[in-house]
């Protein structure tokens, strides 16, 4: 049943990404160059709403905090994040939108997936070298969160309630999503989403 639910949620998420234009590199590149903020507003609204619902759900006991997963902090994560951002800007895809683009029939999406798989294979082959370099050693205690979440197995960097901090950050994201203009001056016409 959980596999079926994952497939249904994945298909719904992919259809939503396609509907808002996230499977078109034109939309993504315009967002990253700050010429059209439609997609950025959508992403900020989704993250903010999800954060509010998740942390409020944890506070009232509807969401089980034990399902929260936190990745370890280490220098390689930050380097990888910079590489992901550069690849996103160069290709117009992030991993999720690239897969959705391929599923919607875009050939460049398939090339993006192939490149990602080759990169992952290269990392696996060279993993011992990366491990020996120290770039994979934990920073700040490894698995930490900004605020402390009651019942979680992760330490917080601050004594603030992680649930309250998560809700506040979610509200800020939602406010920013509504406050941003759709287009910045001189941005030109909006691109047409791929069909």
Q: How far apart are CA 50 and CA 169, in angstroms?
A: 11
Q: What are residue 147's phi and psi, to 5 degrees?
A: -110, 160
Indicate whether this model's pTM tops 0.85: no
- What is the pLDDT confidence band of residue 126, given thresholds at 50, 70 and 90? very high
Report the 10 Å Cβ neighbour count for 43. 16
- What is the pLDDT confidence band of residue 118, given thresholds at 50, 70 and 90? very high
Mean pLDDT across 112-140: 88
Q: Per mean pLDDT, which range of 4-13, 30-39, 113-122, 148-157 is the poorest?
A: 148-157
Q: How far apart are CA 39 and CA 2, in angstroms?
A: 30
Residue 36's DSSP bridge partners are 183
Report the 10 Å Cβ neighbour count for 140. 11
- What is the pLDDT confidence band of residue 3, given thresholds at 50, 70 and 90? confident
pLDDT at 125 over 90: yes
Q: How far apart are CA 136 and CA 142, in angstroms?
A: 10
Q: Using an 8 Å Cβ cutoff, are 128 and 119 in contact?
A: no
- Summarised one tens digit per residue, pLDDT across range 134-186 is 888 877 666 777 777 776 677 776 777 778 888 999 999 999 999 999 887 65
- Summarised one tens digit per residue, pLDDT across range 32-88 is 888 888 888 988 999 999 999 988 998 888 887 777 777 777 888 888 889 888 888
């Amino acid at each position: 049943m959980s596999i079926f639910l994952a497939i249904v949620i994945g298909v719904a998420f992919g259809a939503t990404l396609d509907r808002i234009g996230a499977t078109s590199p034109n939309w993504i590149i315009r967002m990253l160059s700050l010429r059209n903020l439609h997609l950025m507003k959508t992403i900020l609204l989704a993250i903010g709403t999800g954060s509010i619902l998740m942390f409020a759900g944890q506070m009232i006991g509807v969401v089980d905090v034990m399902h929260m997963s936190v990745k370890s902090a280490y220098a390689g994560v930050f380097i990888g994040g910079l590489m992901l951002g550069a690849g996103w800007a160069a290709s117009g895809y992030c991993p999720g939108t690239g897969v959705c683009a391929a599923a919607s029939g875009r050939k460049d999406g398939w090339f993006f997936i192939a490149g990602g798989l080759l990169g992952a294979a290269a990392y696996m082959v060279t993993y011992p070298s990366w491990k020996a370099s120290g770039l994979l050693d934990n920073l700040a205690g490894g698995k930490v969160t900004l605020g402390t979440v009651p019942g979680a197995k992760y330490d917080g960097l601050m004594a603030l309630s992680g649930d309250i901090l998560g809700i506040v950050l979610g509200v800020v994201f939602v406010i920013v999503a509504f406050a941003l203009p759709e287009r910045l001056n001189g941005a030109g016409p909006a691109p047409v989403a791929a069909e």
